[in-house]
């Protein structure tokens, strides 16, 4: 499955189905995977999942596709990935854990 299909179809449908439970996690998550950038906006209704940069993300991640796969499978050790720069973060660290929980 391509990243485009994963975000535009799978993540979008999954989050829309859980929309009523996600209001407490309002925020904007930006994810750069290799050369592609996606953002998930839980701060509005309906939830938006789109390609491209978010204007003011609460959390911006940058990682490889392999490490993103590990993140959503719950197999990426986040402190280790940050220390080794396999995961680069701007913004709220707590949002990284929330994102992992949302997508697993």
What pLDDT is stored for residue 35 in this prediction? 92
Q: How far apart are CA 80 and CA 82, in angstroms?
A: 5
Question: How confident is the model at residue 24, as a pLDDT?
Answer: 66
pTM of the model: 0.84
Helices (H), 1-83: 3-5, 12-17, 19-22, 65-72, 78-83
pLDDT at 58: 92
Q: Which residues contact 8 (CB under 8 A, 6 or more apart)?
A: 49, 51
For the chain, residues with pLDDT lower than 50 are none
Report the domain count for the chain.
Answer: 1
Task: Name the residue with tokens 């396999």.
Answer: 86
Contact 70, 79 (CB under 8 A): no
Range of the domain at 82: 3-103
pLDDT at 22: 67
Residue 12 sits in a domain whose CATH number is 3.30.1050.10
């Amino acid at each position: 499955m391509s990243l485009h299909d994963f975000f535009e179809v799978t993540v979008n449908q999954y989050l829309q189905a859980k929309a009523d439970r996600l209001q407490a996690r309002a925020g904007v998550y930006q994810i750069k995977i290799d050369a592609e950038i996606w953002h998930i906006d839980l701060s509005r209704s309906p939830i938006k999942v789109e390609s491209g940069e978010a204007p003011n993300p609460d959390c911006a991640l940058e990682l490889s596709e392999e490490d993103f796969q590990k993140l959503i499978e719950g197999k990426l050790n986040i402190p280790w990935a940050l220390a080794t720069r396999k995961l680069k973060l701007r913004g709220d660290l707590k949002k990284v854990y929330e994102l992992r929980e949302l997508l697993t």
